[in-house]
RNA sequence: GCCGGAGUGGCGGAAUGGCAGACGCGCAGGAUUCAAAAUCCUGUCGAGAUUACACUCGGUGAGGGUUCAAGUCCCUCCUCCGGCACCA
């Protein structure tokens, strides 16, 4: 018996093999001329318009796929399959972001080379991904650890190294085009080289960095969350070290401007906006009493200048030593040392208890010539603005807290709108940071805040005391790691101290095999131990050492979407013709955890490549969708310790890939966080069983006799067209869960019919195939077709056929439903009104009153107002 | 503290300002079966009322408002989730 039962294991293996062997999803490159054509499934692929659907680059971890991966991948696969059937040439690739810490830590523990671990993990993850039936073009895979790939990562690094940023044009340019100022030229070759070095977009810097002893590496600001490492939660301390940096700050304004035109969620845009953190304010110079020096501060509230009652410098500020008076020398020195020892966690301490030390020096407030004390405190950061502030305790919360603690004067200069607040601010009992009307501000008194800001900025500029300034929170990107398993920098350090970049023709610089992967613990990278590799003789006979830091994991994922377009090209990073055809990425799906890191870095690299003429679009990712997190069945985050982790392999083994795909889409809206339910998987798996039984005789495995070349009846046709319409619209708007509901309704109907017209079943199979491709390929074959349905034209709907002939309309009296009437769908409003008023129940409800107004909403309801 | 997002049956969720709860799960009853699984059918927001159907009232976190009509728009508040957190 049951010879013809729905055997998903067999069917899924069969079609996965078919797709791979036939390269069903191999994607030819089109040309410029075809990229903007109208989509047409009748055209050969290469002559169609393009559609680029991208999944976020997976890290091939030892744990393999988790259920979060297939969520985004299924969504993108549905769109890819749909777009293909609609008539696009769809680029849908996948690859491996395979450098990174876990493989290296495993190497440290076991001695297994990270390359071996990585290969194993990639193979496993590829198997898992293939077992879900995604329509990737497997010939376009990339692997960041492949020298043929990282050759180009190194190549892009050289582009950064060999470029400078033209502030006037707001654009990166080749370093050869950097104008050298005359005064630098006058100082000779060495000065010129130094000047050039200072302008490169990749540069070395000896600066306090986030050193993580547990990981044995430094981390980017973005990788430190609340004073501990984002990965693993290890403590991070500040330590001065020589590091490679990328000048992302130069692109801050453009990274901000580019956000406008992107079809991304407002919340992700906001996160990037906040991270870049633009503030417009003014820099103001304060004379230091009795010194020949000026203390420059940045403030966004130059209008509160009259309320500045003290100054605060960061403990690291260069002027501290110079202006501290003898009697405070020791106390200041003690405070500086204490601050230096503090980790970032201590400095951003949650209690925010302010500490500080008076320097003995005074500054002169330029607006009223008052002497105000200069303090140092670690609540002022050396790395932002000028590293010093004017403190206006009446109108800044931090200054207020500090002033209260150290008994410094508080002077109100802004009048809040609320009279109670105004009184409290006047008494120095409340801090008011909002806009208001200026008080105690000399000739400016009475001005509203925004106007005051403009006037005082102009005034400062005129008196040469300051000028309007823009500051960004964004810092340059710390780009080196003291790890083995990453891209080597194509850089040599010569004996004489010169830094020499490799020629492009010398790439790739291959990571050497080493025995010992352990971090040295001193901050010196493991590569330093590979003496043969590190020590190099230059053509002129002198010696040099290779850079031993490696690039961070972000490097490879910054540009992978570009290599997919031309994954195997040995000669160029990608063919410009292909780039012109495929870019930009039309749809990018992935987790929201990459909101600032990956997405900001990628955009940054893309802009460099744009400036240098390698890419044709200003932004890489046109539309971005973030899939939500999948929680465990207990509504908690999935984690080993909670024991609530769902293993995709197991789900596929028990229910099949089609059920897995369908369930992940049926759970709820793509972007929402939602809990897993094994019973929910059973639900959709029952649905697929029903689809099967609707067409297939379980005894024979052949089509049921009910499947006939018959003309569909009116209702069947209507439901089919409603379904095509709904599913088409829902795919376009990423409403996959409701698309599935509609397909369920369609199947529920067809299963009740004694005759199931083949034409209807065929169209149904085609639309379901985007969601559950394996079962649909099998059914398509059973329906008498001999090749894949992947390129069949997407069914068209006729909205006339989808319309109901009769509709039920609710009749309300004063908004309360009193009756329901059935009218013909093309009834006029007047007719509907007449029928509604004729209703006995309505008449009872009216109780003889005359309707004042009757509102008729076609196909919906009638509301009678009395 | 600040900035986002979200609160709808027992559960996941659905609803261009127009009949709240589509679809699925679960549950209950029935059919089929020697029996079970599978499958199919019926019911399933709450309260009231009825032999039964019909019926009545209430209901989308709380409170107010706009509107003929509010889950949806506006105001105030509460809760949960996510992000940022001395950036002057």
| CA to C1' distance (Å), from A657 to B27 | 29
Minimal CA–CA distance to A557: which of A145, A224, A245?
A145
Minimal CA–CA distance to A564: which of A56, A95, A18?
A95
User: Which residue approaches B24 most closely, CA to C1'?
Assistant: A683
| CA to C1' distance (Å), from A815 to B74 | 21
Residue A325 DSSP SS3: coil
| CA to C1' distance (Å), from A511 to B88 | 45
> Where do runs of H (alpha helix) occur along A733-785?
736-752, 758-769, 773-782
The span from the CA of A818 to the CA of A863, in Å, is: 10
Using the CA of A399, give the nucleotide whose C1' is nearest. B88
| CA to C1' distance (Å), from A818 to B54 | 13
pLDDT of amino acid A82? 98
| CA to C1' distance (Å), from A815 to B46 | 21
Instruction: Please classify residue A737 by burial: count the beta carbons closer than 10 Å to its beta carbon, then call 0-12 exposed, 13-18 middle and 19+ buried.
Output: middle
The span from the CA of A331 to the CA of A342, in Å, is: 17
CA distances to A308, A309, A522, A606 from A428, in Å: 14, 12, 50, 51
Element (H, E) at A472: strand A466-472
Output phi, psi for A863, to 5 deg. -120, 125
Which residue carries 């508080």 as its tokens?
A410
The span from the CA of A547 to the CA of A144, in Å, is: 20
Minimal CA–CA distance to A137: which of A281, A20, A5?
A20
The span from the CA of A107 to the CA of A85, in Å, is: 46
| CA to C1' distance (Å), from A651 to B37 | 20
Q: What is the DSSP-derived secondary structure letter of residue A354?
A: -
Output phi, psi for A58, to 5 deg. -85, 145
> Where do runs of H (alpha helix) occur along A113-241?
114-130, 147-161, 182-185, 189-199
Size (chain A), residues: 866
CA distances to A231, A262, A772, A825 from A287, in Å: 46, 46, 73, 82
User: Which residue approaches B4 most closely, CA to C1'?
Assistant: A267
Which residue carries 């010169």 as its tokens?
A498
Using the CA of A347, give the nucleotide whose C1' is nearest. B86
pLDDT of amino acid A432? 87
The span from the CA of A644 to the CA of A628, in Å, is: 18
The span from the CA of A465 to the CA of A368, in Å, is: 13
Strands (E) across A614-682 are located at 624-627, 630-631, 674-675
Which residue carries 């004042």 as its tokens?
A852
- Three-class secondary structure assignment of A838-850: HCHHHHHHHCCCC
pLDDT of amino acid A488? 97
Q: How far apart are the first and last CA of chain A?
A: 67
Find all residues with CB under 8 Å of A781, minimum gap 6, and list them: none
For residue range A302-359, list pLDDT tens digits in order.
Answer: 999 999 999 999 998 999 999 999 999 999 999 998 887 776 556 665 546 788 999 9
Contact A499, A204 (CB under 8 A): yes
Using the CA of A266, give the nucleotide whose C1' is nearest. B4
Element (H, E) at A832: helix A829-838
Minimal CA–CA distance to A754: which of A801, A705, A811?
A705
| CA to C1' distance (Å), from A151 to B9 | 58
> Where do runs of H (alpha helix) occur along A427-497?
449-462
ipTM of this complex: 0.94
Segments of chain A with pLDDT less than 70:
1-2, 222, 226-227, 343-352
Contact A123, A467 (CB under 8 A): no
Element (H, E) at A372: strand A371-376
Minimal CA–CA distance to A697: which of A206, A221, A6?
A6
Using the CA of A265, give the nucleotide whose C1' is nearest. B4
| CA to C1' distance (Å), from A669 to B61 | 21
| CA to C1' distance (Å), from A666 to B47 | 34
Number of Cβ atoms within 10 Å of the Cβ of A456: 25
The span from the CA of A51 to the CA of A56, in Å, is: 16
User: Which residue approaches B5 most closely, CA to C1'?
Assistant: A267
User: Which residue approaches B83 most closely, CA to C1'?
Assistant: A271
pLDDT of amino acid A1? 46
Question: Which bases of chain B are under 7 A from a protein CB atom?
Answer: 3-5, 11-16, 18-20, 22-26, 38-41, 56-58, 68-70, 81-88
Minimal CA–CA distance to A305: which of A372, A397, A398, A359?
A372
Whether omega before A516 lies within 30 degrees of 0, making that bond cis, reads no
Minimal CA–CA distance to A471: which of A245, A276, A208?
A276
User: Which residue approaches B1 most closely, CA to C1'?
Assistant: A397
């Amino acid at each position: 018996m049951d010879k013809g039962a729905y055997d998903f294991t067999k069917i899924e293996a069969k079609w996965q093999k078919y797709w791979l062997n036939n390269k069903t999803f191999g994607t030819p490159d089109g040309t410029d001329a075809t990229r903007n054509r109208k989509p047409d499934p009748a055209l050969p692929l290469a002559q169609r318009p393009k559609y680029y659907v991208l999944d976020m680059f997976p890290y091939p971890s030892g744990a393999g796929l988790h259920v979060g991966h297939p969520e985004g991948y299924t969504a993108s696969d549905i769109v890819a399959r749909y777009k293909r059937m609609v008539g696009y040439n769809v680029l849908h690739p996948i690859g491996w972001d395979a450098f990174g810490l876990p493989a290296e830590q495993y190497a440290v523990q076991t001695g297994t080379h990270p390359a071996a671990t990585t290969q194993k993990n990639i193979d496993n993850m590829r198997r898992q991904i293939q077992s879900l039936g995604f329509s990737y073009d497997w010939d376009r895979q990339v692997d960041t650890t492949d020298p043929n790939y990282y050759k180009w990562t190194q190549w892009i690094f050289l582009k950064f190294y060999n470029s400078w940023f033209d502030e006037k044009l707001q654009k990166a340019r080749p370093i050869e085009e950097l104008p050298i100022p005359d005064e630098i030229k006058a100082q000779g070759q060495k000065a010129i080289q130094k000047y050039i070095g200072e302008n490169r977009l990749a540069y070395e810097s000896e600066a306090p960095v986030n050193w993580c002893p547990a990981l044995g590496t430094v981390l980017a600001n973005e990788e430190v969350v609340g004073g501990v490492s984002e990965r693993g939660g290890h403590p991070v301390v500040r330590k001065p070290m020589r590091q490679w940096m990328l000048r992302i700050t130069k692109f801050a304004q453009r990274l901000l401007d580019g956000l406008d035109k992107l079809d991304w969620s407002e919340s992700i845009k906001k996160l990037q906006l906040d991270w870049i953190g633009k503030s417009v304010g003014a820099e103001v110079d304060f004379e230091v009493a009795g010194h020949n020096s000026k203390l420059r501060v940045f403030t966004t509230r130059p209008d509160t200048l009259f309320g500045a009652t003290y100054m605060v410098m960061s403990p690291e500020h260069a002027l501290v030593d110079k202006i501290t008076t003898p009697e405070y020398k020791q106390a200041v020195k003690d405070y500086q040392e204490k601050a230096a020892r503090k980790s970032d966690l201590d400095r951003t301490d949650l209690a925010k208890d302010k500490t500080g030390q008076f320097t003995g020096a005074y500054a002169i407030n330029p607006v009223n010539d008052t002497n105000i004390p200069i303090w140092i405190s670690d609540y002022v950061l050396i790395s932002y603005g000028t590293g010093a502030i004017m403190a206006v305790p009446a109108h800044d919360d931090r200054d207020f807290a500090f002033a209260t603690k150290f008994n410094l004067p508080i002077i109100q200069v802004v009048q809040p709108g609320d009279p109670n607040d105004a009184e409290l601010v006047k008494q120095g009992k409340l801090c008011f940071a909002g806009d208001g009307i200026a008080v105690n501000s000399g000739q400016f008194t009475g001005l509203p805040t925004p106007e005051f800001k403009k006037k005082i900025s102009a005034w400062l500029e005129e008196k040469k005391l300051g000028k309007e300034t823009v500051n960004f929170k964004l810092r340059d990107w710390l780009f080196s790691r003291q790890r083995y398993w990453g891209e080597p920098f194509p850089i040599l350090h010569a004996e004489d101290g010169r830094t020499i970049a490799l020629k492009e023709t010398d790439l790739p610089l291959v990571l050497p095999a080493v025995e010992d992967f352990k971090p040295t613990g001193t901050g010196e990278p493991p590569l330093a131990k590979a003496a043969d590799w590190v020590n190099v003789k230059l053509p002129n006979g002198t010696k040099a050492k290779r850079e031993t830091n490696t690039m961070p994991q972000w490097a490879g994922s910054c540009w992978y979407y570009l290599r997919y377009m031309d994954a195997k090209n040995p000669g160029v990073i990608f063919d410009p013709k292909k780039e012109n055809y495929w870019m930009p990425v039309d749809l990018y799906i992935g987790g929201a955890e990459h909101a600032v890191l990956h997405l900001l870095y990628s955009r940054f690299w893309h802009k460099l490549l744009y400036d240098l003429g390698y890419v044709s679009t200003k932004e890489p990712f046109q539309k971005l969708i973030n899939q939500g997190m999948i929680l465990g069945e207990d509504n908690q985050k999935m984690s080993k310790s909670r024991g609530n982790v769902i293993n995709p392999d197991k789900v596929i083994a028990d229910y099949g890939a089609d059920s897995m795909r369908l369930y992940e889409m049926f759970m709820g809206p793509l972007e929402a966080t939602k809990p897993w339910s094994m019973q929910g998987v059973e639900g959709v798996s029952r649905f697929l069983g029903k689809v099967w039984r609707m067409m297939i005789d379980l005894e024979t495995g052949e089509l049921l006799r009910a499947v006939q070349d018959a003309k569909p009846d009116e209702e069947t046709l209507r439901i089919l067209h409603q379904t095509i319409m709904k599913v088409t619209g829902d795919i376009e708007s990423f409403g996959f869960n409701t698309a599935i509901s509609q397909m369920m309704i369609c199947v529920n109907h067809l299963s009740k019919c004694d005759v199931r017209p083949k034409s209807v079943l065929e169209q149904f199979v085609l639309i379901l195939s985007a969601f559950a491709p394996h079962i649909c390929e099998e059914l398509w074959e059973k329906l008498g077709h001999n090749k894949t349905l992947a390129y069949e034209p997407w069914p068209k709907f006729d909205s006339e056929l989808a319309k109901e002939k009769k509709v039920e309309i609710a009749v309300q009296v004063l908004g309360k439903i009193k009756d329901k009437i059935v009218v013909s769908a093309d009834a006029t409003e007047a007719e509907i009104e007449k029928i509604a008023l004729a209703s006995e129940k309505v008449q009872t409800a009216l109780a003889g009153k005359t309707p004042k107004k009757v509102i008729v909403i076609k196909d919906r309801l009638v509301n009678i107002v009395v």
